[in-house]
Amino acid sequence: MYLSISTTSAPVADLTYLLHKHPDRLHHRALSVGDTRVFCTELTAERCTVALLLDVDAIGLVRGQGAALESFTLGQYVNDRPYVASSLLTGAIRGVFGTALAGNCATRPERVAAPLDLELHLPTVACERGEGLIRALWEPLGWRVDATALPLDPELPEWGDARIFDVRLTGTATVQQALQQLIVLLPVLDDAKHYWVDHTEADKLLRHGGDWLGSHPEKELILRRFLRHQRDLISAAQDDAEVPGTAPDGAAQPSLARQRRDAVHAELRSLGATSVLDMGCGQGALLAPLFRDRAITRLVGADVSARALAQAERRLGLDEASDAQRRKVSLIQSSLTYRDDRLRGFDAMVLMEVIEHLDADRIPSLVRTVFAEARPTHVIVTTPNVEYNANYPGLIPGGLRNHDHRFEWTRAEFAAWAERVGAAHGYSVRFAGIGPEDAALGPATQMAVFTRGAGDVAESSAPGAAAGAATMEGSTR
């Protein structure tokens, strides 16, 4: 496999500094994916090119997981894996250009964020769906695509072309951006990965695609293919891969998912919560930072999915955690719509991007479970603001952000629901926005913070109000 990166932006030699590769040396490194060699093929006053050559161990592929990926018996012996750009090449990119991928360069720090005129050349790219998909993935990112189909056999042109392309990408980007886009999109083109895919791959996708994936018109396809069509990983990543927006000074902001986690964590600290229940914790995106917070002494993650809880356990590294760390956190299988005494006794319960996944007629059950039975001191609820969806170019008018969402509330609908629930169960409520905010449409995410009042009004003391609230909740959307 071969990849070359060229620039004509003066001083062109800075490319070698940004990639951390001396132009006069052959850089050799043995990785799990094969032997890699990085070298400078040209360095003139006008142009610099750095090449990566990956020599894949074809026998090693047969011994490893690659054999299981083939659909027919001889596929493990007769395939294009040793020479077409794929997830194996992305492993090599991470291995030899890791510092550049992280956006670090001690010798030329001012050039890290400077866009360069770049050309990326990949002589052999596998893409079963043809040139159209290559263009659909790269052109929205500002690259000019030149893709030429290679013949099955140059000496037998009547056999036609293979689904392998010689691809040149020309555009303006930082070196880090170019490498991040390669890391994400090469496995999407090939639609195959040659290693285990779990929540760490979702984290990698959001880390490398955080500033462009949310607005990409092929976001859904990228998520499906990069995460190997695993529904739980895709569902968890869909909300995270949202348009991050920009700060007032024009600088890129973290993903909306990161801003949401940070906002909830900050709110928990402000409330002084030491025992926290993350209801609908999924694969542990919020649990991970809370687990590291020493102010939180008791942490429970609850979810209906046993598989998600297993992935959360791996994410937290509980197998290698100390006894004290394992005593701090528990993972339980539970539902928001059924009474569970294990949900009682917490300073705070968090429902982060959970309520919109329930059918409307199940919301009264959620209210009863959380506010009438579990009764934590504080409840934090975050949910999408449907009005803000007009800022997502990939959504059809009236569309929802996630295929698994049953509804999404306007700001007025969310406020009305929260105030009814708070009044019925003895909680005061205040609201805050999270993420980018539109002057007319409001914030991307809306948050309600419920705090139990000193009077501690029980549901039984106001049966009419509680019943009325349940009736109104059931009719919402």
Mean pLDDT to the nearest integer, 403-415: 92
Looking at the predicted structure, is the pLDDT value of residue 267 above 50? yes
| pLDDT of amino acid 250 | 44
Residue 74 predicted with pLDDT over 70: no
The region of weakest confidence among 65-74, 118-127, 272-281, 322-331 is 65-74
Identify whether 281 is part of a domain: yes
DSSP structural state of residue 20: T
Query: Which of 195, 213, 231 is the last residue in one of the domains?
Result: 195
Tracing tokens 């043809």 back to the chain, one arrives at 130
Which pairing describes strands 348-352 and 378-384: parallel, antiparallel, or unpaired? parallel
pTM attached to this predicted model: 0.59
Report the percentage of the chain scoring pLDDT > 90: 50
Per-residue model confidence (pLDDT) at position 397: 80
Mean pLDDT over the full length of the chain: 82
User: What pLDDT does 471 receive?
Assistant: 35
Q: What is the CATH number of the domain that holds 371?
A: 3.40.50.150
Least confident of 144-158, 336-350, 436-450: 144-158
Residue 433 vs residues 239, 247, 380, 418, 440: alpha-carbon distances, Å = 16, 15, 13, 15, 13
**In terms of domains, do 187 and 270 share one?**
no
Alpha-carbon distances, residue 240 vs 113, 234, 322, 472 (angstroms): 24, 10, 30, 31
Q: What's the pLDDT score for residue 237? A: 59
DSSP string, 331-400: EEE--TTS--GGG-S-SEEEEES-GGGS-GGGHHHHHIIIIIII--SEEEEEEEBGGGGGG-TTSPTT--
DSSP per position, 133-177: HHHHHHGGGT-EEEEEEEES-TT-GGG-EEEEEEEEEEEEE-HHH
Q: Closest by alpha carbon to 118, among 180, 169, 50, 167? A: 169
pLDDT band at 70 (very low <50, low <70, confident <90, very high): very low
For 110-134, the DSSP string reads HHHTS-EEEEEEEEEEE-TT-HHHH
- Residues contacting 335, CB < 8 A, separation 6+: 304
Same domain, 15 and 92: yes
Q: How far is CA 184 from CA 19, 94, 187, 204, 222, in A?
A: 18, 11, 6, 9, 8
Q: How confident is the model at residue 135 (pLDDT cuts 50, 70, 90)?
A: very high
Residue 211 lies in a domain: no
In this prediction, residue 391 carries a pLDDT of 85
In a domain, 346, yes or no: yes
**Ordered DSSP codes for 74-108:** GGGTS-STTTSBSHHHHHHHHHHSHHHHTT--SSS
The residues, any chain, with a CB within 8 Å of residue 95's CB and separated by 6 or more, are: 29, 31, 33, 36
Domain that holds residue 433: 256-475
Give the separation between CA 313 and CA 310, rounded to whole angstroms. Answer: 5
Looking at the fold, whether 154 and 283 belong to one and the same domain comes out as no
The tens digit of pLDDT for each residue in 78-127 reads 445 556 666 778 888 888 998 998 889 989 999 999 999 999 999 988 88
With respect to residue 235, please indicate whether it lies within any of the assigned structural domains.
Answer: no
Residues 16, 121: one domain? yes
On whether residue 228 sits in a domain, the answer given is no
Indicate the residue type of 151: P
Among the listed residues 345, 366, 347, the one whose alpha carbon sits nearest the alpha carbon of residue 276: 347
Higher-scoring residue by pLDDT: 294, 163: 294
For range 236-246, the mean pLDDT: 53
Tally of structural domains, the chain: 2
245 pLDDT tier (thresholds 50, 70, 90): very low
Those residues with Cβ within 8 angstroms of residue 110's Cβ, 6 or more apart along the chain or in another chain: none
Residues 185 and 208: beta-carbon distance below 8 Å: no
Q: Are residues 184 and 263 in the same domain?
A: no
Beta bridge partners of residue 159, listed in sequence order: none
Q: Residue 249 pLDDT > 50, yes or no?
A: no
237 part of a folded domain: no
Average pLDDT over residues 58-69: 51
Residue 365 lies in a domain: yes
Report which residue type is found at 214: G
Judgement on whether residues 277 and 169 belong to the same structural domain of the protein: no
Q: Give residue-wise pLDDT tens across range 336-371.
A: 889 999 999 999 999 999 999 999 999 999 999 999
Preceding omega of 11 cis (within 30 degrees of 0): yes
Note whether 453 and 314 are same-domain residues.
yes
Q: Which of 176, 195, 214 is the last residue before a domain boundary?
A: 195
End of a domain among 195, 215, 248?
195
In 3D space, the residue among 408, 365, 370, 364 whose CA is nearest the CA of residue 389 turns out to be: 408
Based on the fold, state whether residues 274 and 419 are members of the same structural domain.
yes
Do 154 and 287 reside in the same domain of the chain? no
Q: Which residue has the higher pLDDT, 443 or 67?
A: 443
Q: Cβ of 310: how many Cβ atoms within 10 Å? A: 13
Mean pLDDT, residues 146-161: 83
Residue 224 within a domain: no
